[in-house]
Structure 1
Amino acid sequence: MPRLTDARKELRRAQITEAAVRCFSRNGLERTSIADITAESGLSTGSIYAHYRNKAELVQASAHAVLAKRAEALGEYAGSDTPPDPDELLARLMAGIDPVEARVGVQTWGEATNNPAIHGIVVDTIDRMRAMVHDSVTAWLVKTEHLESAEAQERATPIAHRVQSLYLAELLYTALQSPAQETAP
């Protein structure tokens, strides 16, 4: 049997993670089994376990995959010649919310209240997101308000906190919408 290349392994991991996100969204974290993810991905159980030891690793991979999408966008915002102001940053983040991912995110938060492994994933993800929002707001303050880096970083802290809080509130609101409401005008 041919060995998988690193690129092929990453594609396979992404395929599994995407299937897990769909299953978690549809069935919930607790009610989703590895068999469900196997069926959704079209891969064998052995293939799933070759890439992930357990469901907790899949939850972690799912959280990191969603965060990677936000990180890419936030990196572009912070690195641009004219980073978005906090209101525009929030609008862009909110526009990027996927209802399926939002449902998985909220379920993960709930699971974090009684599962130490998931708790660590959630805290890490939120902390990393906060740091990226902070970097983007800092870049805006430096480039458009012409503040020195140290002052910009200090002033960015409460602004980034508010931006992230509002984003998380919108994520929760989106997660609570029924699929019929998602497509309504």
Structure 2
Amino acid sequence: MILFVGGLVPRLTDARKELRRTQIAEAAVRCFSRNGLERTSIADISAESGLSTGSIYAHYRNKADLVRAAAREMLHRRADTIGGYAAADVPPGPDELLARLTAAIDPVHARVGVQTWSEATTDPAVRDIVVDATDRMRAMLHDCVTAWLVKVENHEPAPARERAAAIAHRIMALYQAELLYTALRTPTGESQ
């Protein structure tokens, strides 16, 4: 506990800490989208979030840590969506799955995603994040396509898993192409 004039100030609860981390990560994503990863400073994120620089450093070690948090947050959003599709009584087929994913693309997230891919070509820590996020999303797509092949197309599970791998790979590639297209066609500061 920290001593404060007139008494003790309670520590942040775990839930409050997580909300603060999310607030900071969302501010970072907005800054990254507007200014680019390289040109965004912790001071920019501080101003965007309304929090002190010290508060940001209390939650994140550095900007790279914020990039990782932003990548994880975007992946979690996709994971929840894709997981729901796979668990449905009638999972969407590959074309419908891709259509749903591309319809949900946020231009801000698309710009940050493309910038993160660029950073991944020169920064091993960012490359690890991008490769992990891509592999995890492809695995989720694989699960969803497998569920569709088994539940809708009536394939046996083992052959369905094998066939789903190539389909999931193509869906992932087309989704990434759509992210790039969205990032390039939507001017900074505008939404889709």
| Residue 77 (structure 1) aligned with residue 77 (structure 2) | no
Superposition deviation, residue 177 in structure 1: 1.4
Partner residue, 2:21: 13
Q: Is the helix fraction higher in 1 or 2?
A: 1
Partner residue, 2:10: 2
Superposition deviation, residue 179 in structure 1: 2.7
Structure 1 gaps of 5+ residues are none
Instruction: Name the aligned partner's letter for residue 120 of structure 2.
Output: A
TM-score scaled to structure 1, two decimals?
0.96
TM-score scaled to structure 2, two decimals?
0.93
Instruction: Name the aligned partner's letter for residue 100 of structure 1.
Output: V
Partner residue, 2:41: 33
Pick one of 22, 29, 44 that aligns with 2:30: 22
| 3-state secondary structure, aligned to 2:40 | coil
Pick one of 137, 143, 146 that aligns with 1:135: 143
Superposition deviation, residue 64 in structure 1: 0.6
| Residue 50 (structure 1) aligned with residue 80 (structure 2) | no
| Residue 60 (structure 1) aligned with residue 68 (structure 2) | yes
| 3-state secondary structure, aligned to 1:179 | coil
Q: Which runs of 4+ in 1 moved over 2 A?
A: 178-184
Please say if residues 107 and 186 of structure 2, whose CA atoms lie closer than 8 Å, have aligned partners that are also in contact.
no
Instruction: Name the aligned partner's letter for residue 167 of structure 1.
Output: Y
CA distance in 1, matches of 2:171, 2:184: 20
| 3-state secondary structure, aligned to 1:127 | helix
Superposition deviation, residue 134 in structure 1: 0.5
| 3-state secondary structure, aligned to 2:69 | helix
**Greater CA deviation, 173-182 or 112-121?**
173-182
Superposition deviation, residue 169 in structure 1: 0.2
CA distance in 2, matches of 1:181, 1:171: 16
| Residue 117 (structure 1) aligned with residue 131 (structure 2) | no
| Residue 163 (structure 1) aligned with residue 176 (structure 2) | no
Structure 2 gaps of 5+ residues are 1-8
Change in Cα spacing, 1:63 to 1:181, as seen in structure 2 (3 Å) is: closer
Partner residue, 1:89: 97
Matched residue pairs, number?
184
Please say if residues 107 and 183 of structure 2, whose CA atoms lie closer than 8 Å, have aligned partners that are also in contact.
yes
CA distance in 1, matches of 2:53, 2:79: 31
CA distance in 1, matches of 2:136, 2:52: 33
Instruction: Name the aligned partner's letter for residue 143 of structure 1.
Output: K
Larger radius of gyration: 2
Alpha-carbon deviations, 1:29-48, whole Å to 9, x = none? Answer: 00000110010000111111
The alignment-based identity, stated in percent, is 72
CA distance in 2, matches of 1:172, 1:182: 16
CA distance in 2, matches of 1:180, 1:14: 22
